[in-house]
Structure 1
Amino acid sequence: MPILGDLSVEAFLRDYWQKKPLVIRQAWPNFQPLLAADELAGLSLESEIESRLVMEHGTAGPWEIRKGPFDESAFADLPESHWTLLVQAVDHWIPEAADLLEHFRFLPGWRVDDLMISYAVDGGSVGPHYDQYDVFLLQAEGQREWRIGQMCHEDSAILKGPMIRVLAAFEETERWVLNPGDMLYLPPQLAHYGIALGECQTYSIGFRAPSVAELAQSALDQVLSTSSEDQRYTDADYSAHEGSSGEISSAAKARLAKLLQAVLMQPDNLGDMLGKLMTEAKYPEHQSERLDDDDWELWRSQHQQLPDLRKSEHGRFAFQQTAAGLVFYAQGQASTLDIEDLELAQLLSSRHQYPRDMLANVPCSQQGYELLRRLWLQQLIYEVE
């Protein structure tokens, strides 16, 4: 189902993606929320699920934030207006929420972060703020007014005192009211301010945007795992005219740059950095325990061919083609595949569901079979009952 209205994917990417906001009226006609408000509140009672309550006028001052897990009494004491419940990564726990993300596959699947659900009563808001990543805001129930402001940066002034980051200055440029099925796209660093008009639910689909610091750490890990002691700084072209003995000359810096570029800028190494970093689990502590090898043998003996399978809601997959073949990434770990496993890698990394008739037609080498085995034992794929 297209979710960009009358806009083509090409036009969206050219004119809006990471450039400017876009309101898409009835991006999802007749949309029905996946969870009722009380079911969403029930998720916030669970210790493994990240949740927050935000109140504009709390007992601890303006824009008070409380972190879950909550108990039922926390909701009994709330005022009638001006509060919001945020439940993070609902797609990790609700298969239907994970399926919703399939509609955003016109963008790299390894960039998708999670689906957060915001439930708010009248006037509920988290204040004017900005995000460092792209986000689609799908109105699931009720109405929310969105006000759009200036582009921000790390030096943008933040209010002192509140327990959440609220912009000290908000320079409104536009505003829209979203109804169920409407969707708003926001590029990174654009100030925005959402206010509930009565009870409402908004689904936020966010995209991972690693910082330079995260990429640098991933690059360092890659260098440490692939470099040898023989790779060192050299200066066979050193000239007596480079400067005084204690000076780190421009030529020395150029040699260092060349050395680091030779190590870091190889396309396969860059792909490895992204593959491992972008498939790391959002909540590593919630990963399922590995099954025993005997479980796989028993399970396979019960199936003449693979049944309908599904990716775990916690699973993150990606792959890259290299000079040597294929590398598949799952939860930050790399697996080498044969080139004949290309269709398998494409299937596993581009969908949540793997029907048996589709799996039966996908070429699979022994390495591909071993990948399926590892994913099943790690409970990153499972049988659809």
Structure 2
Amino acid sequence: MSTTRTDFQDTGALEGAGVLETRLIDIGRERFAGDIWGRTALLTRCASDFSDLFSAQAVDELISRRGLRTPFLRVAKGGSTFPDSSFTSSAGVGATISDQLDDTALWRKFADGATLVLQALHRTWEPVSDFSAKLSTELGHPVQANAYITPPQNRGFDDHYDVHDVFVLQIEGTKRWIIHEPVHPDPLRSQPWTDHRSAVAEAAKGEAYIDTVLEPGDALYLPRGWLHAAQAQGEVSIHLTLGVHSWTRYALAEQLAQAALAVLGDDPEMRRTLPLGVDGPGAEIDTVRARLAVALAEADSTPLFHRAWREQGRPAPLGPLAQLAAVDGLSPESRVRLRGALEARLEGSRLTTRVGWFDFPEADLPSVTRLLDGEVHAAHDLGVELVEELLRAGVLVPVEQ
């Protein structure tokens, strides 16, 4: 099948819809979730104007003025990645760290046809960071962001697949994308495309599922495992790739097994030494299998899931000087709110967040519950002492009057 778009229609984004519906797809969230998510590729023409997220000027600023270091940038050409030492150097007196980006070396490689890959833009460029955080919240899966800057008529990488889903957002220029169906559907993170190199190369010779040129404002969704290669056309191409690190049943099974092993660690029979001179599992394996089955039935992996989810992201930025000024100037009228992207959960009397966990007395729990709504609150409504404690902990942030 060769096509320029996947033919789905919807009545449009619903009122109050998030960035998925309003900027990345035109079929509505329910249709996307039921027919597309994790199943098939989707091309959306004129999805949005992405110039507010990224641009050529942003590329130049990040490379030449921000003092970025590896691994915030990769350089590739003809399917191969250049060693970091070929485009990094120290920045001179007072900044002698040797792995800072060398803009002259990067310019020469770019002029010679190399693709520049700005990695982890969700950490280095605020508009992309904000967008990625919103998308992650809507999808329920962690999101990272990279930008690919490719010279005219060049391609940075050969046909391959990713082990995470991606949304491709064309920012500037045009790029031809050739998409093939998976040779290894739904790969795990431990199953890279290089494990199936020959099958990928063979499949790439066949008829494409999608063969199209993305233009500024177009968006392309690819589930993990879908083969793809892209080549810039007659001008420099800039696109954002939002990588969605999907949670899988396998990942939940890993966590359930970990929780079960913790249960077995409290079982004296499981800690018992095997018989002297044992030459293999023998009959012991039946005992272990039976007790493991019981432990799996009793295990609760929910805390492990929430902990892993918290560890895969970062809270919203926090300015130490603004935070100190808020503590020093705290009054009953001070306005505060919960820090963004904390993944805060109140379990009993314990608040768990991406910046630590906190236990509260019973009297403070109504106020803690209130602040979890993310709205702006006056300090006197929550309790000034509690607000000061949470400002110092980096859980609350000040709101300008």
> Superposed, which structure 2 residues align to 1:1-385 within 5 Å?
2-29=22-49, 31-32=51-52, 34-35=54-55, 36=57, 37-42=59-64, 45-47=67-69, 50-56=72-78, 63-67=80-84, 69-78=100-109, 80=111, 82-101=113-132, 103-104=134-135, 107-109=138-140, 111-122=141-152, 123-153=154-184, 154=191, 167-169=200-202, 170=204, 171=206, 172-197=208-233, 198-209=235-246, 230-233=266-269, 246-248=282-284, 250=286, 252-262=288-298, 264=299, 266=300, 270-280=301-311, 297-300=327-330, 304-306=333-335, 311=340, 317-320=342-345, 322=347, 324=348, 327-330=351-354, 333-335=356-358, 338=365, 341-342=368-369, 344-345=371-372, 347=374, 358-360=376-378, 364=382, 370-375=389-394
Question: 1:339 offset after TM fit, Å?
Answer: 6.8
Q: Is the 8 A contact 2:318 2:394 kept in 1?
A: no
The 8 Å contact of residues 309 and 383 in structure 1, kept in 2 or not, is answered as no
Give the alignment's TM-score, normalised by structure 1: 0.70
Distance 1:308 1:249 in 2: 54
> 1:255: how far off?
2.2
Alpha-carbon distance between aligned partners in 2 of 1:150 and 1:283, rounded to the nearest angstrom: 33
Higher mean Cα deviation, 32-41 or 17-26? 32-41
Q: Which moved more, 1:207-216 or 1:182-191?
A: 207-216
CA separation of 1:173/1:63 partners in 2, compared to 1, >3 Å: closer, same or farther?
same
* Partner Cα distance (1:233, 1:364) in 2: 50
Q: What CA distance in whole angstroms lies between the structure 2 residues aligned with 1:129 and 1:199?
A: 22
Cα displacement (A) at 1:81: 5.5
Cα 1:271–1:375 change in 2 (3 A) is: farther
Query: Larger % of strand: which?
Result: 1
C-alpha displacement at 1:74, in angstroms?
Answer: 0.9
216 and 73 in structure 1: CA distance in 2 versus 1, 3 angstrom threshold: farther
Q: Secondary structure at the match of 2:169?
A: strand
Corresponding residue of 1:241? none
Q: TM-score, normalised by structure 2?
A: 0.67
Measured at CA, do residues 364 and 307 of structure 1 come closer, stay the same or move farther in structure 2, by a change above 3 Å? Answer: closer
| Distance in structure 1 (CA, Å) of the matches to 2:386 and 2:338 | 19
Q: What secondary structure, in the 3-state scheme, does the structure 2 residue paired with 1:184 have?
A: strand
Residues 212 and 16 from structure 1, CA distance in 2 versus in 1: closer, same or farther, beyond 3 angstroms?
closer
Identity over aligned residues, as a percent? 21
CA–CA separation in structure 2 for the residues paired with 1:254 and 1:369: 52
Unaligned runs of 5+ in 1: 57-61, 235-244, 348-353
Which position in structure 2 is the counterpart of 1:239? none
Structure 2 unaligned blocks of 5 or more? 1-18, 89-99, 185-190, 271-280
Cα distance in 2, alignment partners of residues 211 and 384 from structure 1: 41
Deviation (angstroms), 1:18: 0.7
2:372 match: secondary structure: helix
The RMSD of aligned alpha carbons is 4.4
Contact 2:144 2:243 in 1 (8 A): yes
CA distance in 2, matches of 1:300, 1:221: 44
Q: CA deviation at 1:185?
A: 0.7
Asked whether the equivalents of residues 142 and 313 of structure 2 are also in contact (C-alpha less than 8 Å), the reply is: no
**Would you say the 8 A contact 1:130–1:152 is kept in 2?**
no
Report the Cα distance in structure 1 between the residues aligned to 2:224 and 2:373, rounded to whole angstroms.
28
Contact 2:264 2:292 survives alignment (8 Å) = no
Aligned length: 338
Structure ranking higher in helix proportion: 2
Paired residue type of 1:345 = L
Cα deviations across residues 116-169 of structure 1 (Å, max 9, x unaligned)? Answer: 111111113222111111111111111111111131433855698xxxx99543
